[in-house]
């Protein structure tokens, strides 16, 4: 049988009438090579390199195996038909390499080549699979869990004080029924369980300099099954793992800031209990789940400008990665999860991002649903936060509740703020692109120094108490224009379409607020400021400044006692496309005040 030189095509399946139809098979003469192993890019000791090629005569070819890092290392040149080679990775220095597998003809000419990036680390101790005998994980070397590991029945793993255990992405250390994990750190020698990407503990174990950073949810955690035991103490630091939560809290709890918290069923904070969520934490909710704080319970979620707390959908891959493990199959949407419901309880929420809440979407009327919801004697303070893409409400005080909201943005909700039987006070807030802005329905709603704009139905539905605020939409929607300092103008945000709700330098909201009402600083911590280019139309602060309407103060012309200066930049003079290059720089604060950031 003789095949065409360039290509052989056959007709497709049933109903196909010509070559190339759906279901057809094409065999091309172009040389093809794939690396089939190692499947895991984390290498140590002896690893098997596997390959397969098509489109050339393999019996006349040689496999050329090399590791390219700062130096190129020849691994071997076996016959191509062997399709595998056992590589002792200890023959090269630890580092990140391009593993190159090439096919060469009898004269040494390149036929085809394929590359895979791998990490070689033989300084660490690696763990995977079932541990069936007692082990001690000493502190003299970093330990890496490269794939899921299980401490089997009757086996005991003792982690020594000062030991550092790092986990590859998506891995876990399970204590099986009858297994034992003892991790008792000391004040001077704490034990750290963390992500392989965490360079702050044990150094740059994945040897990529600063190319990767640890994220909450990098590893799965330490599940304990049946009668298994995990013995630990306060000198053990668990970082960047994912943990699940459901049901009523048995006692006070602190949710760490370096952890992905997955709420798989409704979490209840009962009477007398407190749930504290630390800065930087990411909380993801399964469908229609939320957190309820009962009367006598307390929720404290106080983030910071550089480490906000995020409440979002389990489908939201933009923070803490692909937590539901489905790639891009699912995407977050308004109403994916329910709420933070203070059912008579108290809450302090500061510097939080609340996304895709206020579900379920299937109810006929969600007037009583808000991503921040109160009832009864609940007391809530919400500050310096962003609520966006809520299916029903943003802040909803229904059948009671006392809510104070400052320096907060509510964007893209059905009803941004609802007060029905409760009391809500807004100061220096920005409400934009909601269906309804303010909805006072049998409750008390007081608004000061805020801007409510671009609502698709009405900015104000009802009769709230609005003072020194901007109510505006392109259709001419206003409220008590000219009364109590209220205006109706385009706020001239810098770039609302891209989420930048700072004021442009010509915004009429600058210096137009009541400086005697509201917080002394804005969303970003900037003090109130009298812009010299803008006429003062508001009321001065006790210190003589003139505050702006909305969540952000315009301070671009203000003096600062923080002055950051780049004093050095180092890096290669040239770089090859597709390869990594490291650039380092030093920033010095030459101002008189302290500079803060997530350095």
The answer to whether 183 touches 208, Cβ cutoff 8 Å, is: no
Residues 361, 374, single domain; the answer is yes
**Residue carrying the six token digits 């970082």:** 239
Domain end position, chosen among 100, 120, 140: 120
**Domains identified in the chain, total number:** 3
Residue 26 has pLDDT above 70, yes or no: no
Q: Are 401 and 465 members of one domain? A: yes
Residues 303 and 172 in one domain: no
pLDDT higher at 84 or 585: 84
- Say which CATH number the domain at 97 has: 2.60.40.10
For the cut 80, the answer to whether the pLDDT of residue 118 exceeds it is: yes
Q: CA 198 to CA 190: how far, in whole Å? A: 16
Indicate whether 8 belongs to any domain: no
In tens, the pLDDT along 64-82 reads 999 999 899 999 999 999 9
Distances (CA, A) of 339 to 190, 197, 213, 289, 312: 37, 32, 30, 7, 10
3-state secondary structure 490-509: CCCEEEHHHCEEEECCCCCC
Residue 489 belongs to some domain of the structure: yes
**pLDDT-wise least confident of 216-220, 329-333, 566-570:** 566-570
Same domain, 156 and 205: yes
Residue 176's pLDDT is what? Answer: 97
pLDDT level of residue 295 (50, 70, 90 thresholds): very high
Closest to 402 in 3D by CA, of 445, 436, 370, 362 = 445
Q: What residue numbers bound the domain in which 354 lies? A: 276-283+296-503
Q: What is the mean pLDDT of residues 24-46?
A: 84
Residue 180 has pLDDT above 80, yes or no: yes
pLDDT tens for residues 137-146?
999 999 999 9
> Mean pLDDT in the chain?
92
CA nearest neighbour of 259 among 279, 282, 277:
282
pTM: 0.80
Q: Which residues contact 88 (CB under 8 A, 6 or more apart)?
A: 45, 46
Asked if 78 contacts 48 with a C-beta cutoff of 8 angstroms, the reply is no
CA distance 367 to 372: 13
Same domain, 356 and 431: yes
Are residue 169 and residue 215 in the same domain, yes or no?
A: yes
Which residues touch 369 (CB under 8 Å, ≥6 apart)? 338, 339, 358, 359, 363, 391, 392, 393, 396
Q: Which of 14-18, 432-436, 517-521, 571-575 has the lowest mean pLDDT?
A: 14-18
Report whether pLDDT(18) > 90: no
Nearest C-alpha neighbor of 314 from the set 259, 388, 257, 261: 261
Structure tokens at 299: 């929720």
Q: Is the pLDDT of residue 340 over 70?
A: yes
Q: Write the pLDDT tens digit of every residue in 418-462.
A: 999 999 999 999 999 999 999 998 889 999 999 999 999 999 998
Residue 351 shares a structural domain with residue 394: yes
- Among 120, 141, 173, where does a domain finish? 120
Domain boundary among 98, 120, 142: 120
Check whether residue 62 and residue 166 sit in a common domain: no
The mean pLDDT value for 118-130 works out to 97
Indicate the burial class of 50 (C-beta count within 10 angstroms; 0-12, 13-18, 19 or more).
middle
Specify the CATH number for the domain of residue 483. Answer: 2.160.20
Report the pLDDT value the prediction gives residue 5, as an integer from 0 to 100. 47
531 found inside a domain? no
Mean pLDDT of 174-200: 97
Of 586 and 506, which is predicted with more confidence? 506
pLDDT at 598 over 90: no
**Model pLDDT, residue 595:** 76
Residue 44 has pLDDT above 50, yes or no: yes
């Amino acid at each position: 049988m003789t095949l065409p030189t360039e290509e052989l095509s056959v007709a497709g399946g049933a109903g196909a009438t010509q070559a190339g139809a759906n279901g057809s098979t094409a065999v091309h003469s172009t040389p093809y090579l794939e690396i089939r192993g190692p499947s895991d890019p984390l290498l140590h000791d002896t690893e098997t390199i596997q390959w397969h090629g098509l489109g050339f005569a393999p019996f006349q070819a040689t496999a050329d195996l090399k590791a390219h890092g700062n130096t190129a290392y020849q691994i071997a040149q076996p016959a191509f038909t062997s399709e595998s080679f056992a590589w002792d990775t200890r023959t090269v220095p630890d580092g990140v390499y391009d593993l190159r597998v090439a096919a060469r003809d009898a004269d040494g000419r390149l036929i085809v080549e394929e590359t895979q990036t791998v990490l070689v680390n033989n300084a660490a101790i690696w763990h995977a699979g079932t541990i069936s005998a007692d082990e001690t994980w000493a502190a003299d070397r970093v330990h890496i869990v490269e794939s899921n590991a299980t401490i089997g029945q009757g086996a005991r793993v003792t982690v020594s004080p000062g030991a550092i255990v790092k986990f590859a992405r998506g891995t876990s250390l399970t204590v099986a029924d009858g297994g034992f994990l003892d991790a008792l750190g000391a004040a001077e020698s704490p034990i750290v369980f963390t992500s392989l990407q965490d360079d702050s503990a044990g150094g740059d174990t994945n040897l990529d300099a600063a190319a990767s950073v640890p994220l909450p949810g990098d590893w799965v955690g330490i599940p304990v099954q049946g009668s298994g035991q995990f013995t630990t103490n306060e000198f053990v630091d668990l970082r960047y793992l994912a943990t699940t939560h459901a049901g009523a809290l048995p006692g006070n709890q602190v949710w760490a800031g370096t952890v992905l918290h997955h709420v798989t069923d409704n979490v209840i904070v009962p009477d007398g209990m407190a749930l504290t969520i630390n800065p930087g934490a990411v909380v993801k909710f399964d469908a229609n789940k939320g957190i309820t704080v009962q009367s006598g319970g307390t929720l404290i979620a106080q983030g910071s400008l550089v480490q906000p707390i995020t409440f979002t959908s389990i489908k939201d891959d933009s923070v803490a990665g692909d937590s539901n493990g489905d790639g891009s199959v699912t995407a977050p949407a308004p109403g994916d999860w329910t709420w933070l419901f203070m059912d008579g309880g108290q809450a302090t929420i500061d510097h939080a991002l609340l996304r895709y809440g206020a579900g379920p979407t299937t109810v006929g009327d969600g007037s009583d649903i808000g991503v921040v919801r109160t009832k009864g004697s609940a007391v809530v303070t919400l500050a310096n936060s962003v609520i966006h893409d809520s299916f029903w409400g943003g802040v909803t005080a229904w059948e009671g509740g006392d809510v104070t909201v400052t320096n907060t943005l509510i964007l893209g909700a059905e009803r941004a703020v609802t007060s029905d039987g409760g009391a809500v006070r807004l100061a220096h807030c920005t409400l934009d692109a909601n269906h309804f802005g303010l909805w006072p329905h049998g409750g008390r709603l007081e608004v000061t120094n805020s801007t409510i704009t671009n609502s698709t139905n009405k900015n104000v539905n009802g009769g709230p108490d609005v003072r020194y605020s901007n109510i505006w939409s392109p259709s001419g929607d206003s409220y008590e224009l000219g009364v109590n300092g209220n205006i109706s103008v385009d706020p001239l945000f810098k770039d609302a379409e891209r989420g930048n709700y700072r004021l442009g330098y010509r915004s009429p909201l600058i210096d137009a607020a009541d400086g005697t009402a509201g917080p002394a600083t804005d969303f970003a911590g900037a003090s109130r400021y009298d812009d010299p280019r803008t006429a003062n139309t508001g009321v001065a602060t006790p210190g003589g400044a003139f505050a702006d309407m909305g969540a952000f103060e315009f301070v671009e012309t203000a003096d600062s006692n923080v002055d950051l200066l780049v004093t050095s930049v180092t890096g290669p003079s040239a770089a090859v496309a597709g390869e990594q290059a490291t650039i380092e720089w030093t920033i010095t604060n030459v101002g008189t005040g302290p500079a803060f950031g997530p350095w």
